[in-house]
Amino acid sequence: MAVSGLIMLGYLVVHVMGNLKIFFGPDEFNAYGHWLRVVGEPFMHREWVLWIARVVLLTAVVAHAVSAAQLSRRDIKARPVKYVHKRPRASYATRTMRWGGVILALFIVWHILDLTLGTVNPDFQSGHPYENVVASFQRWWSAALYIVAMLAVGLHIRHGFWSAAQTLGAGGKGRDLALRGIANGLALVLTLGFISVPVAVLTGVVS
Ligand code: HEM
Q: What percent of the chain has a predicted confidence (pLDDT) above 70?
A: 97
DSSP code string of 15-83: HHHHHHGGGG-HHHHHHHHHHHHHTTTTTSPTTHHHHHHHHHHHHHHHHHHHHHHHHHHHHHHH--SPP
User: For residues 205 and 20, is the Cβ–Cβ distance under 8 A?
Assistant: no
**Region 113-117: what's the mean pLDDT?**
98
Centroid of ligand 1 to alpha carbon of 115 (angstroms): 7
Nearest CA to ligand 1 atom 16: 33
Among 46, 104, 110, 111, residue to substitute to test ligand 1 (most atoms within 8 Å of Cβ) = 111
Ligand 1 within 6 A of 133 CB? Answer: yes
Instruction: Name the more confident of 59 and 99.
Output: 59
Cβ of 19 closer than 6 Å to ligand 1, yes or no, is yes
Q: Judge whether residue 94 has pLDDT over 90.
A: no
Confidence at residue 86, expressed as pLDDT on a 0 to 100 scale: 65
Ligand 1 pocket, 108 CB below 6 A? yes
The pLDDT mean for the chain works out to: 94
- Please state the rounded mean pLDDT for residues 131-144: 98
> CB burial class (10 A; 0-12, 13-18, 19+) of residue 173?
exposed
pTM above 0.85, yes or no: yes
* Rounded Cα distance, 163 and 66, in Å: 17
129 CB less than 6 Å from ligand 1? yes
Query: What single string gives the DSSP state of each residue in 151-192?
Result: HHHHHHHHHHHHHHHHHTT---TTTHHHHHHHHHHHHHHHHH
Per-residue pLDDT at 171 exceeds 90? no
Closest residue by Cα to atom 8, ligand 1, is 115
Backbone angles phi, psi at 80, to 5 degrees: -70, -25
Query: Does 58 contact ligand 1 (Cβ within 6 A)?
Result: no
| Stretch 161-177: mean pLDDT | 90
